[in-house]
Amino acid sequence: MSAPPSTPELEGLSRVEISLSSAEKMNSYSAVYGHEPDIRLGKVLRYSPRGYQSAVGEISMRFREAKVVSIDVGKMTPCDAARLIDFCSGMAVASRGWFYRVTDQVVMISPPVQKN
């Protein structure tokens, strides 16, 4: 796997920090789109996965069930943590949900609000 392109603002950051930075930029709210962000509030399911494969299946299943999911990547290898952050960010963007950075090792994904 090749390294991400080097830019001055990313020099000296770990893979996890680069993934978090990219996810925040990709998921940030922009007034240009002309709509208010719809955010689902409710119970939060918390996960502290140890590996990428098992985490992806469980997190995506709960996200599809319209659950808000908090993920602590602190027990994962930096490589797996970066992969999981990238996966969750992409899943949030593709579904029009939201991705939040809570701390340096905890992220939260919120599925889109279903309007009736």
Half-sphere exposure of 29 (CA within 13 A, CB side): 9
> DSSP 3-state assignment of 84?
helix
Q: Is residue 44 part of a domain?
A: yes
| Residue range 50-99, pLDDT digits in tens | 999 989 999 999 999 989 999 999 999 999 999 999 999 999 888 888 88
Q: Is residue 10 part of a domain?
A: no
Tokens (6 digits) for 25: 């930029």
The model carries a pTM of: 0.71
Q: Is residue 13 part of a domain?
A: no
Check the CA dihedral 47-59-93-25 and report its sign: positive
Q: Could you tell me the CATH number of the domain that includes residue 110?
A: 3.30.110.150
Q: Is residue 11 part of a domain?
A: no
Q: Is residue 5 part of a domain?
A: no
Q: Is residue 67 part of a domain?
A: yes
Q: Is residue 90 part of a domain?
A: yes
C-alpha to C-alpha distance for 29 and 13, rounded to whole angstroms: 24
C-alpha to C-alpha distance for 53 and 10, rounded to whole angstroms: 27
